[in-house]
Chain A
Amino acid sequence: AQSVAQPEDQVNVAEGNPLTVKCTYSVSGNPYLFWYVQYPNRGLQFLLKYITGDNLVKGSYGFEAEFNKSQTSFHLKKPSALVSDSALYFCAVRDNNNNDMRFGAGTRLTVKP
Chain B
Amino acid sequence: KAGVTQTPRYLIKTRGQQVTLSCSPISGHRSVSWYQQTPGQGLQFLFEYFSETQRNKGNFPGRFSGRQFSNSRSEMNVSTLELGDSALYLCASSLVWGPNTGELFFGEGSRLTVL
CB–CB A43/B106 < 8 A: yes
Neighbouring B residues of A99 by C-beta, 8 Å: 56
- A51, B5: Cα distance in complex, Å: 27
Kindly supply a per-residue 1/0 record for chain B positions 88-113, scoring 1 wherever the CB is within 8 Å of any chain A CB and 0 otherwise: 00101000011111111111110100
Neighbour of A44 across the interface among B45, B97, B101, B106, CB < 8 A: B106
Count, A-B residue pairs, CB within 8 A: 62
CB–CB B104/A46 < 8 A: yes
* A45 and chain B: residue at smallest CB distance: B106
Neighbour of B43 across the interface among A41, A94, A103, CB < 8 A: A103
Determine if A105 is an interface residue (Cβ-Cβ < 8 Å): yes
Known: A43-B4, A98-B55. A103 touches B99 (CB 8 A): no
Interface CB pairs A-B, < 8 A, 27: A32-B101, A36-B106, A41-B111, A42-B108, A42-B109, A43-B106, A43-B107, A44-B104, A44-B106, A45-B106, A49-B102, A51-B102, A90-B42, A90-B43, A94-B101, A96-B99, A98-B55, A98-B56, A98-B97, A99-B56, A100-B33, A100-B48, A100-B55, A102-B45, A103-B35, A103-B43, A106-B43
Given A43-B109, A51-B100, A106-B42: 15 more A-B contacts, CB < 8 Å: A32-B102, A42-B108, A43-B4, A43-B92, A44-B90, A94-B99, A95-B99, A98-B97, A99-B56, A100-B45, A100-B56, A100-B58, A101-B101, A103-B45, A105-B42
